[in-house]
Each structure stands twice: as C-alpha cells, then as structure tokens.
C-alpha cells in the first residue's frame, strides 16, 4: 500500500482533474523465470478522500505524487460514476482501479 496527498488526472497533455489524500493498493502476480521469482503488477486499486474535474471524462491517466520525493506513480484507468461540478472540490470518496501497468517516473536532473 502506498499513500500520498496529491494526485492528478490527465487526458493526453491536458490536466482534467485532481484528487487528494489517496491510497493505492497493489496486487502482485508471481512467476519463476530463469530460476528467479518475478513479481509483476496484476491489478491495483486507488481511493481518494476528495476530488475535482473540469469536465466529464472516462479514460484517463492517473498520476500519484509521493510525499517529498522526486518521482510519481502513473497508470491508465477507467473512471466509473462520479459527481461533476467543474472546478469545485467534491469532498467525498472516489475509487478507481486498473490492471497491469503501474509505472514509477522519476525526474532527472539536467546538468
């Protein structure tokens, strides 16, 4: 389980929403390859205590920013039913999930 304070939703290069006080739970699948036990993300589920959207969307990229770090988690997800009040914070839980891909992206320092 991983937690954080801030997350955002993107469609392409456009930020379409965000969420606060999130939790991600990951389910791993394991296999044996060349004598090593290998773990891959089988599925994941997330919840947030509050959220906002600028417009109605379904297929988004969720980005989970980890507290005081130089990386974030990102994954495609399909949103279910939620309230839409453009630009207004909805102070109720939002749950969403995905299968497979859950990446960690780190910022690189340019010289």
Long-range contacts of residues 56-63, Cβ cutoff 8 Å, at least 24 apart: 56/84, 57/9, 57/11, 57/16, 57/17, 59/11, 60/9, 60/10, 60/11, 60/16, 60/17, 61/9, 61/10, 61/11, 62/7, 62/8, 62/9, 62/96, 62/98, 63/7, 63/8, 63/9, 63/10
Domain spans of the chain, in order of start: 2-106
Given a cut of 50, whether residue 96 has pLDDT beyond it is: yes
pTM for the model: 0.83
pLDDT of 15-64, one tens digit each? Answer: 999 999 999 988 888 888 888 888 877 788 999 999 999 998 888 999 99
């Amino acid at each position: 389980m991983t937690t954080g304070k801030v997350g955002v939703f993107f469609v392409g290069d456009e930020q379409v929403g965000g969420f606060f006080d999130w939790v991600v739970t990951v389910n791993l699948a394991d296999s044996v390859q060349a004598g090593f036990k290998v773990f891959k993300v089988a599925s994941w589920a997330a919840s947030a205590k509050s959220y906002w959207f600028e417009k109605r969307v379904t297929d988004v990229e969720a980005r989970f920013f980890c507290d005081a770090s130089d990386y974030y988690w990102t994954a495609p997800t399909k949103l279910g039913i939620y309230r839409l009040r453009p630009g207004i914070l909805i102070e109720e839980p939002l749950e969403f999930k995905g299968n497979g891909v859950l990446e960690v992206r780190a910022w690189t320092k340019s010289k």
